[in-house]
Structure 1
Amino acid sequence: MYKLLIRPILFLFDPEKVHYFTFSLIRILCKIPFVASVFRSLYQVKNKKLERKLFGLTFINPVGLAAGFDKNAVLYNELANFGFGFIEIGTVTPKGQLGNPKKRLFRLKDDQGIINRMGFNNDGVEEAIKNLKKNKHKVIIGGNIGKNTETKLEDYTQDYLDVFKELHPFVDYFVLNVSCPNVGSHAKLSDKDYLLELITECQSQNNLFKIKKPILLKIAPDLNNSQLDEIIELVAETKIDGVIASNTSTTRDNLNVSKERLQEIGNGGVSGQPIKDQSTQVIKYLADTSNKSFPIIGVGGIHSAEDALEKLNAGADLVQIYTGFIYEGPGLIKKINKALLKK
């Protein structure tokens, strides 16, 4: 029904406007008596065999929603009805910011992908906390955090620490987003020495709390093997809890969309099917080279149960969807979980 009826209508309109319209629609529908329970009956798959235990947390299933969809933590309670095992909010920055100028979100229909240059648009950590105080604890919540675009080079780490400290009581795990190609002045965040400083500082902050929260690092799919080796060394050195592979890609290889259309779109990160193999290769390299010494959350181009199984077989412990959720609809979560049970 979604792909035949709903998606063709939604795809007639601007992607960003549709995003907010869909948010409003889901919130309204879930307020109607029994609708939320109908969603749960349609999409949730409950089975102990789907449980995954990682970094001290028990995930009811290994299929999560990637950051960027529910940036301000306004819809996680409702989205939990669709069967996700975990939902990642953000990217959250210390202060709210508008992000990059519109138009900044583009569909690549022939490629089943998206190009975005949103630029960490969000309402800031205080607004996220207000929304997280409404948590009905239906699902594990991850907090994807970053810096404000206008922050000076010497204050990058402080931005992360400010959000980490404020958000700590309200999320189950943290993700340090250091790999988004859509915000300015991000070059420093890919430097190994800086990452060592950032992770160490966040871990020190974490140790001040009675209950420590897992910390993961989100990396780009465009890293070469030498850079991936540095990530493996970094994980071993800092004992960070895991890696999310991967963020969006700046490459434009093997796309069906015309060069003229790409020039018209301009800069941005590619997500969806075009980066499926690229992200899987990163997962496999990290898993094989490190001898599977740390947990990996696989994300990038998961549009089917087979795509998810491919990520898991490559070495991922959990998977996340985003673009696939937009193209395939909420039924995708159920398909993946049912495929896992068959396996």
Structure 2
Amino acid sequence: MFPLLRPALFSLDAEQAHGLTIDGLASWARLGTPFAAPPPDPILHSKVAGLHFASPLGLAAGVDKNGDAIDGWFGLGFGSVEIGTLTPLPQPGNPKPRIFRLVEDRAIINRLGFNNGGIDAALPRAKAARRKGVLGINVGANKDAVDRVADYTHGVSRAAPIADYVTINISSPNTPGLRDLQHGTALAELLAACDAARGTTPLFLKIAPDLEPAATDDIARAATANHIDALIVSNTTISRPETLTSRHATETGGLSGAPLASLARARLADVRQATGGAIPIISVGGIDSAAEAYARIRAGASLVQLYSGLVYEGPGLARRINTGLATLLKCDGFTTLADAIGTA
């Protein structure tokens, strides 16, 4: 039904349509997710950071910041759902409008600014979710935090007892100065503090696509030294490809969707080389089909996540990717997903 509903949704402000989607999915989940996607083909099962994933396809952070519809997302067929970014204190984010559809480019620009109700409000929902897959909680710092490391360690320590994994998000372009934490001493100190705060819960690190090779190497070394269990590569970009044609192309914020695909692929290759394959990689950015998800896996990603593809392809996308991935693996003679990782 999505092709019929899409014109109505696209007639609304992007953030309003997003909110209605979350509310609708939460209501569907309360009914027990009737007509939920079938369990993924066993060939898609994998293990990353000691966690069992029924499908390598995950929902990226930013879609359901407050964890309002966790059960609904799992019902669509996602093997993992990552909520957040959650900050210690609630914050409204940046002024509206702050989400823009670039329809001609199949892209989104957002400058939300970590708008969320605070981690203490979201954790009870995460704890109560039925969780038919792996649940990640993505944490960040408040915009006006005096001590950002303290904000991150607070988030990690609060989320770790409930989450299957916790993600440190230092890659959003919409909180001034946040990306500075991706470099040098600041990064090492942050990762060491979060490593100490997470207990035994796997800890992931999400980085930006707008990094030079030297910075990627530094992140790989710091991640290894501080026992990071996986790298999420990557967040939205502040760059603007010359191919963009939408009237919203000059809006400030992070660009996601189809135009991010080539940059996300390049960063995946850089991080794979920098880590020597020693740290699992979760590839994000421009994934909107089984073919693209499969290409990222063969390029070295253990898992993939998506967000903007749902805006243009609708809620059936997860089911279609799961089905298509299983078919592609079997056609190429693989018997497990792990066998395909890095084969390209």
TM-score, reference length from structure 2: 0.92
1:99 to 90, 93, 100: 93
Aligned-residue CA RMSD in angstroms?
Answer: 1.5
Counterpart for residue 117 of structure 2: 123
Write the distance in 2 (CA, Å) between the matches of 1:248 and 1:187: 12
Write the distance in 1 (CA, Å) between the matches of 2:21 and 2:138: 22
Counterpart for residue 194 of structure 1: 186
Write the distance in 2 (CA, Å) between the matches of 1:188 and 1:338: 40
Q: Per the alignment, in what secondary structure is the counterpart of residue 37 of structure 1?
A: coil
Code of the aligned partner of 1:169: P
Write the distance in 2 (CA, Å) between the matches of 1:160 and 1:96: 14
2:13 counterpart of 1:14: yes
Contact 1:305 1:336 in 2 (8 A): yes
Counterpart for residue 160 of structure 2: 168
C-alpha displacement of 1:135: 1.6
Write the distance in 1 (CA, Å) between the matches of 2:178 and 2:131: 34
Write the distance in 2 (CA, Å) between the matches of 1:316 and 1:128: 29
Worse overlay, 72-81 or 114-123: 72-81
Write the distance in 2 (CA, Å) between the matches of 1:229 and 1:117: 28
Write the distance in 2 (CA, Å) between the matches of 1:290 and 1:139: 27
Code of the aligned partner of 1:37: P
Q: Per the alignment, in what secondary structure is the counterpart of residue 234 of structure 1?
A: helix
Counterpart for residue 135 of structure 2: 141
1:214-233 equivalent positions in 2, closer than 5 A: 214-233=202-221
Write the distance in 2 (CA, Å) between the matches of 1:65 and 1:323: 10
**Structure 2, unpaired ranges of 5+:** 330-344
Q: Per the alignment, in what secondary structure is the counterpart of residue 95 of structure 1?
A: coil
Write the distance in 1 (CA, Å) between the matches of 2:260 and 2:26: 31
C-alpha displacement of 1:112: 0.4
Tell me which protein shows more helix as a share of its residues. 1
CA distance 1:47–1:187, change in 2 (3 Å): closer
Contact 1:244 1:299 in 2 (8 A): yes
Q: Per the alignment, in what secondary structure is the counterpart of residue 128 of structure 2?
A: coil
Q: Per the alignment, in what secondary structure is the counterpart of residue 216 of structure 2?
A: helix
The count of residues paired between Structure 1 and Structure 2 equals: 328
2:159 counterpart of 1:159: no
Moved over 6 A (4+): none
1:272-291 equivalent positions in 2, closer than 5 A: 272-291=257-276
CA distance 1:255–1:37, change in 2 (3 Å): same
Contact 1:280 1:310 in 2 (8 A): no
C-alpha displacement of 1:332: 1.6
Counterpart for residue 213 of structure 1: 201
CA distance 1:132–1:217, change in 2 (3 Å): same
Q: Per the alignment, in what secondary structure is the counterpart of residue 249 of structure 2?
A: helix
Write the distance in 2 (CA, Å) between the matches of 1:187 and 1:289: 19
2:84 to 86, 90, 111: 90
2:237 to 240, 249, 254: 249
C-alpha displacement of 1:331: 1.9
Write the distance in 1 (CA, Å) between the matches of 2:214 and 2:157: 33
Contact 1:45 1:338 in 2 (8 A): no
Counterpart for residue 75 of structure 1: 69
Write the distance in 2 (CA, Å) between the matches of 1:191 and 1:96: 27
2:34 counterpart of 1:37: yes
C-alpha displacement of 1:186: 1.7
Contact 1:45 1:337 in 2 (8 A): no
Code of the aligned partner of 2:5: I
Q: Per the alignment, in what secondary structure is the counterpart of residue 97 of structure 1?
A: coil
Contact 1:90 1:144 in 2 (8 A): yes
Write the distance in 1 (CA, Å) between the matches of 2:80 and 2:303: 10
Q: Per the alignment, in what secondary structure is the counterpart of residue 133 of structure 1?
A: helix
Counterpart for residue 309 of structure 2: 324
Write the distance in 2 (CA, Å) between the matches of 1:163 and 1:236: 21
Write the distance in 2 (CA, Å) between the matches of 1:251 and 1:128: 32
Q: Deviations over 1:98-139 (max 9, x none)?
A: 000000000000110000000000000110112123121322
Code of the aligned partner of 2:189: E
C-alpha displacement of 1:256: 2.6
Q: Per the alignment, in what secondary structure is the counterpart of residue 160 of structure 2?
A: helix
C-alpha displacement of 1:187: 4.5
Counterpart for residue 255 of structure 2: 270
Q: Per the alignment, in what secondary structure is the counterpart of residue 120 of structure 2?
A: helix
Write the distance in 2 (CA, Å) between the matches of 1:31 and 1:205: 34
Write the distance in 2 (CA, Å) between the matches of 1:143 and 1:46: 23
2:311 counterpart of 1:311: no
Write the distance in 2 (CA, Å) between the matches of 1:169 and 1:24: 27
C-alpha displacement of 1:49: 1.5
C-alpha displacement of 1:89: 0.4
Worse overlay, 282-291 or 143-152: 282-291
